[in-house]
Amino acid sequence: MRYWLSIVVATPAHSSVAGPLTYRSECPLPPGSLVRVPLGKREVLGVVWEALPDSGDLPESQSRAVLGALDGLAPLSATWRRLVGFTASYYQRSIGEVALAALPPQLRELSTVQLARRLKRPVAPAPDAPVTTDLIALSAEQERAIAEFDADTRPALLFGATGSGKTEVYLRAAAKVLASDTSAQVLVMVPEINLTPQLQARFEERFAHLGKAQVVSMHSGLTPAQRLKSWLAAHAGQARLVLGTRMAIFASLPNLRLIVVDEEHDPSYKQQEGARYSARDLAVYRAMLESARSQAGDSEGAEAFPLPAGAAEPALPGRRRSAPPGGSAVREATSVGACRVLLGSATPSLESWQATVVGRYQRLTMSERIGGAEQQGSLPAVRLVDMNHQPKHCTIAPPLLDAIAQRIARGEQSLIFLNRRGYAPVLACHDCGWKSECPHCSAFRVFHKIDRTLRCHHCGFTERVPRACPACGNIDIAPVGKGTERLEEHIAELLAGDHPVRRPDGSPLRIARIDADTTRLKGALESQLASVHAREVDVLVGTQMIAKGHDFRHITLVAAINPDGALFSSDFRAPERLFGLLMQAAGRAGRDADHGEASEMWVQTFHPQHPLFAALKKHDYPAFAAQELKEREAAGMSPFGFSALVRAEARDQAVAQGFLNAAAAAAQTQQLPGMEAVTPYPAVPMTIQRVANIERAQMLVESPSRAALQRFLAAWQPLLHQTRQQGDFKSLVRWAIDVDPLAI
Ligand code: ADP
Ligand code: ZN
Ligand code: ZN
């Protein structure tokens, strides 16, 4: 017997073989099977996408045979394939690229024999540890959030202040699901690898009765062997709880029943290369698919891939909700087996927030910090320092310096952040005007004093600091502006001043810095954080890295040195990010109820009247969101409008822009589907126009309709490919589409 199969393999994004390929097999292989197939002269891993009735018009002599199946591995589920198919079509990539990137890299390399050996390894049996019963008593707000969550079926957004105890809600929700069904699986996503060990420890502790083998993690910090191990455990249903970063959204989880997305607003959920997917948005979509499966039964091979573009309006968070193909009554999926999604944040993305405003998502609110109910206003007081009234050119306003000194004297910690690493962003000659530009980028090289280098943060180009101005020979070249390295030095000088500040026991103070430069070595961040926790540090200076997630107990003052840039950025999401960052940072202060009352958040600004700060002062995210959403609605921006960016890179800026404009003109001429509701804007250089000698341009495409934008992009892709083959455009380095871009 001869069987014809369509199989997806990892194809380069823009090759001519973007779709599934046809192979023959001597035995039937169900869709989702992992196989080895020949591709050119290589042997590659592939996924059977569907069984074909015949070979189509492919002559048998030209067809190639499947080399072998990865025995012992169950086929990937129809739901998984649907998720991959949707991702490929929505983000305008090939199915093969998305599917193979979603599998652990080692799966590609292992021979069938090696894999068989791997699969035979015994799974550690669950220990006899009893289910943790001495749980902390829930706060009234936690109690209510959980009850409301249980009573609903919509995607839920847990809007909980920092320190309100969101993690406990995740733990309880997960526990309930795991207890309800001995095969149920839970996926918990976190934005950063740095945050997984802490959370993993908490989950492992709580679910100790399941055994360590059943709580696995998935992120890029694992070795290939560890990744494969986690993946296999999840795929086989042995892992009950998977903790991971954005890549984990594609984990094969045959009985997935709950997806938690912690810090759902975090930009790192958006992949920035290849298929530029949003793991947060896909979590919502996947929960819907999994629920539809539990209703309809996971009928293998019943549906066609890929989703015909525009056939179903993709149901990512947007204006309307529509059912995924094959499952029409998702809303009613309360039955056993449904999959819920729980997003959590103190400062939700405006997309998710708006979804709760219109009732598409359920909103669960926890506004009080644990232990803070009695102490009114236990979130830190926000103090705005009007820099217009401070000494000229001062980096740290005298009242702020004073406040820091008082903290040190009391034995409390302060956290000072500045979003710029290095010593100074520019080195300049005041005689001739020379500046430390990068020869390869349209950006300045940053001065790092510690090793006396000028480093480009875009292309990495590094040189020793010149002894004299390279242009005029003046030896008096000086740093301009401040980065974290200089801020650290500056604070030390200020505090050492005429009346040196001492700790309560009279010992000298200690200042530490945490940023990408100080944490490059493995384990460095952990040890630095440990010394903060051990109260060895009085003042911690750093970038936004320290504003996220870490649970510092003894910090009673947080200060943002220079956040104004984001107020007037050309990127419409900049205020949202700034507000989120400041709220997160404020949340670092006074987490210990003992210090709750005295803790403060200082913000130095030249624009104290800005409405963003008014909302921040009151810790009023809803007010900020309402204000921002009003502006976005008036401007037709996300979540009220939809957009995609097409980026092009070339040696020559004119070629990059010309390519984009020519492709848009071709779309206009051909009146592509969706065009009537889609506006392509003229191509422009990117903010950092040149990186590593490559010129970069982008074109924004907008539409009030997600469906129209999707139809248009699908039809436009082939035209972009064609345009690239014409004349000068052949020299293009690359181009790519970013759907729902985060930064514009
Ligand atoms: P969030 O994630 O909302 O910022 P966490 O989940 O980190 O907050 O909780 C803040 C702190 O409160 C943690 O130390 C946690 O252990 C503690 N906590 C959470 N819930 C309770 C509770 N019901 N009773 C006592 N402490 C709690
Ligand atoms: Zn000079
Ligand atoms: Zn550079």
Q: What is the pLDDT of residue 279?
A: 98
Residue 579 to residue 568: CA distance in whole angstroms = 13
User: How many Cβ atoms sit within 10 Å of the Cβ of residue 410?
Assistant: 12
Number of Cα atoms under 13 Å in the Cβ half of residue 523: 0
Q: Compute the chain's Rg from CA coordinates.
A: 28
Choose one of 134, 164, 167, 548 to mutate for the ligand 1 pocket test, by most ligand atoms within 8 angstroms of C-beta: 167
Q: What is the pLDDT of residue 124?
A: 61
On whether the CB atoms of residues 46 and 33 are closer than 8 A, the answer is no
- For residue 146, report the distance from its CA to the centre of ligand 1, in Å: 14
Enter the tokens of residue 234: 């999840």
Q: What is the pLDDT of residue 311?
A: 36
- Helix runs in 461-569, H state only: 484-496, 524-533
Evaluate: CB of 167 within 6 angstroms of ligand 1: yes
Residue 125: CB partners within 8 Å, gap ≥ 6? 211
Residue 708: CB partners within 8 Å, gap ≥ 6? 674, 676, 677, 678
**Total count of residues recorded for the chain:** 744
- For residue 476, report the distance from its CA to the centre of ligand 2, in Å: 8
Ligand 1, residue 366: give the atom nearest the CA: 3
> Which ligand approaches the C-alpha of residue 460 most closely?
3
Q: What is the pLDDT of residue 113?
A: 76
Q: What is the pLDDT of residue 111?
A: 74
DSSP β-ladder status, 64-65 and 185-189 = unpaired
On whether the CB atoms of residues 545 and 513 are closer than 8 A, the answer is no
Ligand 1, residue 138: give the atom nearest the CA: 23
Question: H/E element holding 176?
Answer: helix 166-180
- For residue 177, report the distance from its CA to the centre of ligand 1, in Å: 21
Q: What is the pLDDT of residue 377?
A: 47
pLDDT digits (tens, 9 = 90+) for 424-445: 999 999 999 999 999 999 999 9
Residue 387 zone, left/alpha/beta (φ > 0; ψ -120 to 50; rest)? alpha
Nearest to 256 by CA among 215, 207, 291: 291
Task: Please list all protein residues whose beta carbon sits less than 5 angstroms from ligand 3, which is an ion.
Answer: 438, 440-441, 456, 458-459, 461
Nearest to 480 by CA among 517, 429, 518: 429
Q: Rounded to the nearest 10 degrees, how much is the dihedral formed by the CA atoms of 423, 424, 427, 431?
A: -120
> Which ligand approaches the C-alpha of residue 548 most closely?
1
Evaluate: CB of 141 within 6 angstroms of ligand 1: no
Is the omega angle on the peptide bond into residue 306 within 30 degrees of 0, that is, cis? yes
Residue 90 to residue 710: CA distance in whole angstroms = 7
Q: Which residue has the tokens 């169900």?
A: 30
Parts of the chain with a pLDDT under 70: 12-18, 55-58, 60-61, 122-134, 195-196, 295-336, 372-378, 549, 590-597
DSSP β-ladder status, 64-65 and 21-25 = parallel
Q: What is the pLDDT of residue 263?
A: 93
On whether the CB atoms of residues 21 and 7 are closer than 8 A, the answer is yes
Nearest to 485 by CA among 542, 442, 423: 423
> Residue 36 to residues 31, 112, 118, 250: CA-CA distances in angstroms?
14, 9, 17, 21
Cβ burial of 491 (10 Å; 0-12, 13-18, 19+) is buried
Ligand 1, residue 587: give the atom nearest the CA: 4
Q: What is the pLDDT of residue 133?
A: 64
Nearest to 237 by CA among 308, 295, 293, 181: 181
Enter the tokens of residue 373: 């109910």
User: How many Cβ atoms sit within 10 Å of the Cβ of residue 360?
Assistant: 17
Which residue is closest in CA terms to ligand 1's atom 16?
165
Residue 670: CB partners within 8 Å, gap ≥ 6? 719
Residue 503: CB partners within 8 Å, gap ≥ 6? 408, 409, 411, 509, 538
Which residue is closest in CA terms to ligand 1's atom 22?
138
Evaluate: CB of 166 within 6 angstroms of ligand 1: yes
On whether the CB atoms of residues 296 and 327 are closer than 8 A, the answer is yes
Q: What is the pLDDT of residue 15?
A: 55
Q: 3-state DSSP call for residue 560?
A: strand
Ligand 1, residue 160: give the atom nearest the CA: 3
Q: Tell me phi and psi for residue 312, to 5 degrees.
A: -120, 135
* Full 3-state SS string of 210-257: HCHHHEEEECCCCCHHHHHHHHHHHHCCCCCEEEECHHHHHCCCCCEE
Where are the strands (E) in 406-510, listed by range?
413-417, 426-429, 446-448, 453-455, 462-464, 477-480
The mean pLDDT value of the chain amounts to 87
User: How many Cβ atoms sit within 10 Å of the Cβ of residue 569?
Assistant: 15
Q: Tell me phi and psi for residue 508, to 5 degrees.
A: -70, 150
On whether the CB atoms of residues 639 and 705 are closer than 8 A, the answer is no
Evaluate: CB of 138 within 6 angstroms of ligand 1: yes
pLDDT digits (tens, 9 = 90+) for 159-200: 999 889 999 999 999 999 999 999 999 999 999 877 667 788
- For residue 447, report the distance from its CA to the centre of ligand 2, in Å: 16
Residue 345: CB partners within 8 Å, gap ≥ 6? 157, 158, 159, 160, 262, 263, 264, 265, 352
